[in-house]
Structures are given as C-alpha cells and as structure tokens.
Structure 1
C-alpha cells in the first residue's frame, strides 16, 4: 500500500486550508492548494517543498477541471479532496441581493460539487476520500447568517447523500463543522472591520463552552484524520469541532 497521498485543498493558502496543507506536507504527502490570489498561494508554496499551488476559482467548472488535471498530471493520482474554500457574509434579510446569494452558494455548494464530480474517477481508483469543511452554523441558526448557514447546511446534506452514493465505489465522504476559528475569516470572507471583528470575537468567546475560539491546526488535525487509514470505515459523518458551540 502506498503511504504517500495526493491531496487537493481548495482555499489552501490561509487559515484552516493552509494549516491542513502544511500538516499533510510534513507527513510526506503531496499537496495541491488552490486560491483566488496569487500572493498567498505563492507564500504557502514557499513553506514546504511538498506543496504546489494553483490560482483558481473553485466555483468555476473550467477551474475545477484544471485543478484535478494539475494533480493527476503532476502525481498521477488523487487520494483526498478537501473542499475548504468558503464564502459568506453577515447578511440580514433586508440587505440580500441576488448576486450576494449566488456568490455564497457558488463557492460553498457549487464549487465542492464540481470538484467532487470531476475528481470522481480518480478517487474511485484510489478508494479515496472527500472532506467537506462546513460550519457550526450549518446546523445552528444565527441571525444575519441565514444564507451562509443555509449553504453550509446544504454542504452537510451533500456529504451524507454522496456518502451513500459513493460507498459502492469505496469512496468515503465526511465533513467537519468548524466553529469560530482564528483564520482571518471575519475581516476577509465576512468583510468586517478590525473593530467589528474584535467585537464578534468577544461575543463568541462568551458563548463557546470552552471559552475560546479555535486554532486552524485544531481543525487540520481532524482533516488529516479523516484522510488516514484510521478512518477507512467512517463515512457520511459531520464532525463538530467547535469548542461545544453547537451544543447550546
């Protein structure tokens, strides 16, 4: 059995995706990360010789094909697809617009679907794994996050449906519902100012039973676990890694 894996991680140049890329690479796996901005992708590539990168939009059908082809052309196989790229916004119902809703669902639902479909024959060949990165808010409601939360709920249900559909092929499909994490998402993906982000962080710390926000490495540990032989009899699961936030 080949120990070295080929892993594709979308949104792999920052936060949880970057932490996972470095964790896989340090184990000797070959990692292809994607991201929309060349600078962060190049910075992450420079951190480990086993990481390669591609500037790509995961919600683009052409970029999905290009991403899978890059991994296969370079290393000849795909063992794990980590759908980590995400989009979101604090978006009250009174402020919604068609474009903002489409943007969120394009990245969080369409993107993983396109990549998983394109990777399917290669994952079948390796009896590989798909790991979707969801959120506590995929199953916990929150005011102002309805469309982000709905997109993550959809991703969690895709996870369960794909697990049933792909089990006869030997492909495992699981998800991690990550809680609030020190990943820069509040000022990046959510578009908050530094002051607004700090206020949200303080509020979250007060709600999380373990009284702190998570570290990207704490999510990356479980991503690596789901891709390991120890999880070969686990599929269709959504694991909450959120300091207990989903319990309240």
Structure 2
C-alpha cells in the first residue's frame, strides 16, 4: 500500500489527487499574537506618556516661574508706587517751602531796597557833615618843610602878613595846624589850617586870592574838600580853565562849577 492510499496524505497547494478528485485542506488554526510586539507597544506608550508628563511638568514649572516673576514685578511696582507717593509728598512739601521762601525773598528784597536807600542817605549825610566840618579849614601849599619845625607859629606869621590889623589874634583864631601825609624828601607836604571862627577863615580865603605875600613866597591857599568833591572839580576844571581863557566869569562852589552864573557838567 502506498502513501497516497492514506487519508492523512494530502496534496499541498490544492493539487489534484491521482484519482482526480480535490482534497480539501484541513482547517488551520489562527496565529497567536506575539508577546514581544505587545511589550514593544506598551514600552512606546509608556515612553510617550512619560514624555508627555515631562512636558507638562516643564510647562507647569515655566508657568510657576512666570507667576513668580509676575509676583516679583508686582511687588516692585507696588514698592515703586510707594516711593512715587513719598516723592510726591516730598515735592509737595518742597513746593510749599519754595513758595514760603519766595515770599520771604520778596520781603527781604523790599527791605534790602529800603536798607540801600537808607545807606545812601546815611552816606550822603556823612558827606554833608564832612563838607560842613571842612568849611572851617583851609589848605596851604608852598610852605617849606624843616625838621622839628613849629608849623603853627610859621602859619600864624603868614596869616598876620596877609591880614594885618585884624581885631583878633591869629594865635587864638587858629585851632590846629598840621601837614598832610607821610614825609617825602622830594615833595613838600601841604598844610591843613583849622580855624576857630568861620569868619576868620573866610577872610583869609578872600584876601589870599590877590595877596602879594602869597605871590612873592609861592604860597597858595585852597579849600579843604572831600575826595568826591575834588574828583568832581578835576573833571570840571578843563571847562573852567577854557572859560577863564575867554575872559568869562567861571568859579567853583563846592563840587559844582559855574560859568556866567550857569552850572556846568562834565
């Protein structure tokens, strides 16, 4: 008996048997799933889950950090707002102080103007008092200077020659006599004469202008003026001199000058 006679012998791929009839292939069992594939799929899913969780954690951390930053910025803004309020209050106080100081400054300026006016008035009064005091004085130029001189005796002798026969003694009418400034070998210092009576001084001043004694001895009397008046006369002198050269009547009166009874200015 051959293999073909057995029932369990089948032809593969649907080939016909020798007898010519087709044999039906026995049913095959379904394939079982492979265990390794399942494990692989689970591993990938777990990995994806872990990646997702990691991403979420990172996002949460980023959100947390961003929230912390916002909180820090908010705190800084609150601190800045507090400082701005403090600065605003300080500026308000400063504005008040500036306004008060401005009003005080205005008041002080007005008082300063008054003080300046009073100072100028006081200076002018002092000048007038000095001018008035010097009306009793005369300056004498050209008296030779000697060591250990008796300048008062020399001056009273000159005055007696200029105004002989006056009803008073110049020794009594002259209060003080002294030279002006430091001694200088190259220059003769002027002499200040202070009279007791104004009328005695005015008489000598009048007589000395055309006195032969003064001309012969090179003596010249002058008013004892303050510095401001001397400077004013110095500026006016060229015009007065020009008027004299033209035979016009010109003269000084204190710090002022007149030509033909009209006051002139520098």
Q: TM-score, normalised by structure 2?
A: 0.20
Structure number with larger C-alpha Rg: 2
Higher relative helix content: 2
Bigger relative contact order (CA 8 A; separation at least 6): 1
